[in-house]
Chains A and B, each alone.
Chain A
Amino acid sequence: MNYIENIYICIAAPVLVAAVSLKDKHRKMMLFLLAGMTTCLLSSYVSTYLTYRLGAKPYQAAGEIAPMIEEIMKFLPMMFYLLVFEPKSRDDTAWCMIHVALGFATFENICWLTANGASNVLYLLIRGFGTGAMHVVCGAIISAGLMAIWKDMWLRLAGTAGMLTLTVTYHAIYNILVAEEGIVAWIGYLIPMVTAVVIMMIRSRTENRQKEE
Chain B
Amino acid sequence: MENIDNNIQLIVSGFCAAVAITKAISTTRRNWMLLAVCYTAGMLADLYWLLYYIFNGSTPDLFYIPYLGWYVSTLFLYIFLNEITLRNAGEKSRLMWVVPAFTAAMCVFYMFYGDYISNLIAATIMALLGCEVINGLHALKLRSREGIEQVKLRCHRRLYTAAGLFFIAVYGMWTASCFLTVDSVLSPYYWFDFMKAVMMLIILLFASSVIGLSERKDEAVT
B-contacting residues of A (Cβ < 8 Å)?
54, 56, 59-60, 63-65, 67-68, 145, 148, 155, 158, 161-163, 165-166, 168-170, 172-173, 176-177, 179-180, 184, 202, 205-206
Contacts and interface: CB of A to CB of B under 8 A. Distances in A.
B28 interface: yes
B163 to A, nearest CB: 17
B25 A59 contact: no
B33 A63 contact: no
Given A64-B60, A166-B41, A173 B72 contact: no
A65 B64 CA distance: 10
B66 interface: yes
A148 B79 CA distance: 14
B62 A64 contact: yes
Contacts of A173: 44, 47-48, 51
Nearest to B70: A165
Given A173-B51, A176-B52, 10 more contacts: A68-B63, A148-B30, A158-B79, A161-B72, A161-B75, A165-B72, A168-B65, A173-B44, A176-B51, A180-B55
A148 B33 contact: yes
A205 B25 CA distance: 10
B73 to A, nearest CB: 9
A74 to B, nearest CB: 16
Given A145-B37, A177-B51, A166 B65 contact: no
B56 A59 contact: yes
A145 B79 CA distance: 15
Contacts, number: 74
Interface in B32-51: 33, 37, 40-41, 44-45, 47-48, 51
Interface in B62-88: 62-63, 65-66, 68-69, 71-72, 75-76, 79
A158 B75 contact: yes
B33 A176 contact: no
Interface in B94-115: none
A54 to B, nearest CB: 6
A162 B44 contact: no
Given A56-B62, A64-B60, A168-B68, A162 B41 contact: yes
Interface residues of B, number: 27
A10 to B, nearest CB: 32
A206 B28 contact: yes
12 contacts: A63-B52, A148-B33, A158-B75, A162-B37, A165-B69, A166-B37, A169-B41, A169-B44, A169-B48, A176-B48, A176-B52, A177-B51
A172 B48 contact: yes
B63 A169 contact: no
A166 B44 contact: yes
A169 B65 contact: yes
A65 B62 contact: yes
A151 B53 CA distance: 39
B158 to A, nearest CB: 25
Interface string B168-209: 000000000000000000000000000000000000000000
A90 to B, nearest CB: 13
A184 B76 CA distance: 32
A17 to B, nearest CB: 38
A152 B98 CA distance: 29
Nearest to A67: B65
A56 B56 CA distance: 13
A68 B65 contact: yes
A92 B203 CA distance: 36
B6 to A, nearest CB: 14
Contacts of B25: 202, 205-206
Nearest to A177: B51
Q: Which 8 A-B pairs have the closest CB atoms?
A: A169-B44, A165-B72, A64-B63, A64-B62, A165-B68, A162-B72, A169-B69, A176-B51
